[in-house]
Structures are given as C-alpha cells and as structure tokens.
Amino acid sequence: MRYIEKTAMNWADEGILTHEKAEEKLQQLADCRAAWHTVEQAVGIPHRSPSDKEQTFASVWITKWKFSSAMIREAYDRSVDNTGKFSMSYMNKILERWQKSGISTTQQAEEDKLARAAARKSRRNETLSQDLDAFERSGVFDNFDRK
C-alpha cells in the first residue's frame, strides 16, 4: 500500500492527474523497459535492473534515435575494441555521432569507419610531409659538402 501511495504522490507531482496521463506514463514506462531489454540482448548483459543513467541511454538510443539492436551491438563492439571494457558513455558518444551523421545501418557505420581511417592516414601523411619540408628548410644539410 505504501508503494502505491508513494507512486500516486510522485505521479501527482509530475502532473499526472487524469486517466489519459496515467496511460501515457504507463506506456512511457513500458517503452523504457523494452528499450533496456533491447540493449541487454544486444550487448549480452545478464538480466538486471538498469541504473538511471543506463535507462536514460537505452531510452534515447532505442526510442528517440531509433537504433536497431545491430547498431547497438556495433557501438558496443567498437567501445570494447577501443577502450578494452564495456562503457555505455563511450557507446553513447559513438551512437550520438552516428545519429548526427545520419548513420543508421551497420554498412553505413563500416563505410564511415573506413572513411575516417583514410582521413586520419591522410592527415598523418600530410603532417609528416610538412615536417620533412620544414626539416629540410632548417638548414641542417647546409653544412655538408655537396659534390
């Protein structure tokens, strides 16, 4: 009885005073549970209650951004590959970038990964070339007798 009373007081504080608002709240809670279940399944987390932060991440990824379980798994794999551990915050950064970039399939994510790697390699080569040019201009070779 105390739980029901506390829940009713919390809902009243949230402005849930009608049957329609209660139905919306119940649907929101069901969506949150379903989102967490999708994330649990995608990344292989044993069934448990999520923390508030985990629940928020799951709800945004699944309900708001509409990522599939395959995309959640891809973000998980990249997170573990890059950090050596499971990190929902790191996964969120990956998924947030994908969402902003319009990446919604694993194929698009792979193409993006290859493009980003190529861009990094190009920047590295450009920097190395600039460093070599600057080194040659520094006059280090001016003291050598050239014949």
Average of pLDDT values for 71-87? Answer: 96
Q: Is the pLDDT of residue 21 over 80?
A: yes
In the structure, what pLDDT confidence band is assigned to residue 123 with cuts at 50, 70 and 90? confident
C-alpha–C-alpha distance, residues 17 and 23, integer Å? 11
Counting beta carbons within 10 angstroms of the beta carbon of residue 76, is it exposed (0 to 12), middle (13 to 18) or buried (19 or more)? Answer: buried
pLDDT value of position 62: 97
Contacts for 9-17 with beta carbons within 8 Å, 24 or more apart? none
Would you put residue 99 in left (φ > 0), alpha (ψ -120 to 50) or beta?
alpha
Dig out the tokens for 147 from the structure.
């014949």
pLDDT value of position 47: 93
Average of pLDDT values for 129-137? Answer: 62
pTM above 0.95, yes or no: no
In the structure, what pLDDT confidence band is assigned to residue 122 with cuts at 50, 70 and 90? confident
Q: Is the pLDDT of residue 141 over 90?
A: no
Q: Is the pLDDT of residue 33 over 90?
A: yes
From the list 123, 54, 57, 40, the residue with the least C-alpha distance to 94 is 57
